[in-house]
Structure 1
Amino acid sequence: MSEEIQTFTTEYLDQCAHLYIEVFNGEPWSEEWTFETAKARLFEILNTPGFVGFVFKHDELLGFVAGYCKQGQKSKSFYLEEICVRSHKQSQGIGTKLLNQLMDTLTAMKVTSVYLLTKKDGQAEAFYTKHGYQRSQHLILMAKRF
């Protein structure tokens, strides 16, 4: 079977939830996702208005990208919620192919910017930097725990 990129639909939800657990419960994230919580998270993203997402397959599902468009006062932006590639397949171009497919689609939709959150100073930041993303000089992440 050759590699293919397809639209992320509910058909892929269970496979993507399993992949999400594999990647984000491992290093460097060390999170504690269950199948139920991962599936619920991806279901919420998939059902957000303006959703755009793709899966990468080569004999099996190896990665996905997902997020949604948001209308601003003058243009549309895209919030990149998740990009996830099977751990042993990272650094082989799958994430780049998914990101390129996403960017082609967003360009056709007249989206003018993409933003995301990721761990700083790690492999993920290096991946995004390689693809032209940079730390925002105008925005900061603020949080409140309760």
Structure 2
Amino acid sequence: MLEEIQTFTTEYLDKCAHLYVEVFNTEPWNEQWTFETARAKLFEILNTPGFVGFVFKQDELLGFVAGYCKQGPKSKSFYLEEICVQPHKQHQGIGTKLLNQLMDTLTKMEVTGVYLLTNKDGQAEAFYTKHGYQRSQHLIFMAKRF
């Protein structure tokens, strides 16, 4: 099977939305995405200035990564919004390949840092830790419900 990593474009939006629902409506997230809400979220990310994203294909779309660059006072950083791999294909290196492609691209763009939000103490945190990410000592996540 031929592996391909291609730029995430609107051509892949519907397939990525279906995958998003499949992944995030199951353990450990158990969220309640519909195709329409997932598609709207990914459409927003795709149309954010500074967007960078890739899809992983092997006969079919198996995963994607997406986020956007933000200019800071001295350098650019990247907010990794989503990384998503079909549940039955996880732990086979697809997420790592997507992350490596992303990092290669961001390095060429002179981005100096990546940040993201994820559930703590779970599979996702373990994945990011394995790839050199660490909990920030300087930033906290704050929320207000209303």
Percentage identity across paired residues of the two chains: 88
Any unmatched runs of 5+ in structure 1? none
Equivalence map 1:36-115=2 (5 Å): 36-115=36-115
Q: CA deviation at 1:10?
A: 0.1
CA–CA separation in structure 2 for the residues paired with 1:64 and 1:84 = 5
Once the two structures are superposed, residues 1-58 of structure 1 have per-residue CA deviations (whole angstroms, 9 ceiling, x without a partner) of 4010000000000000000000000100000000000000000000000000000000
CA–CA separation in structure 2 for the residues paired with 1:18 and 1:25 = 11
Match of 1:30 in 2: 30
Match of 1:120 in 2: 120
Any unmatched runs of 5+ in structure 2? none
Structure 1 stretches of 4+ with a deviation exceeding 6 A read none
Q: TM-score, normalised by structure 2?
A: 1.00
CA–CA separation in structure 2 for the residues paired with 1:136 and 1:30 = 26
Amino acid at match of 1:63: G
Amino acid at match of 2:117: L
Amino acid at match of 1:82: E
Q: What SS class does the counterpart of residue 88 from structure 1 fall into? A: helix
Q: CA deviation at 1:133?
A: 0.0
Count, aligned residues? 146
Q: CA deviation at 1:63?
A: 0.1
Match of 2:13 in 1: 13
Q: CA deviation at 1:97?
A: 0.1
Structure 1 vs Structure 2 CA RMSD: 0.4
Q: TM-score, normalised by structure 1?
A: 1.00
Q: What SS class does the counterpart of residue 66 from structure 2 fall into? A: strand
Once the two structures are superposed, residues 77-133 of structure 1 have per-residue CA deviations (whole angstroms, 9 ceiling, x without a partner) of 000000000000000000000000000000000000000000000000000000000
Match of 1:133 in 2: 133
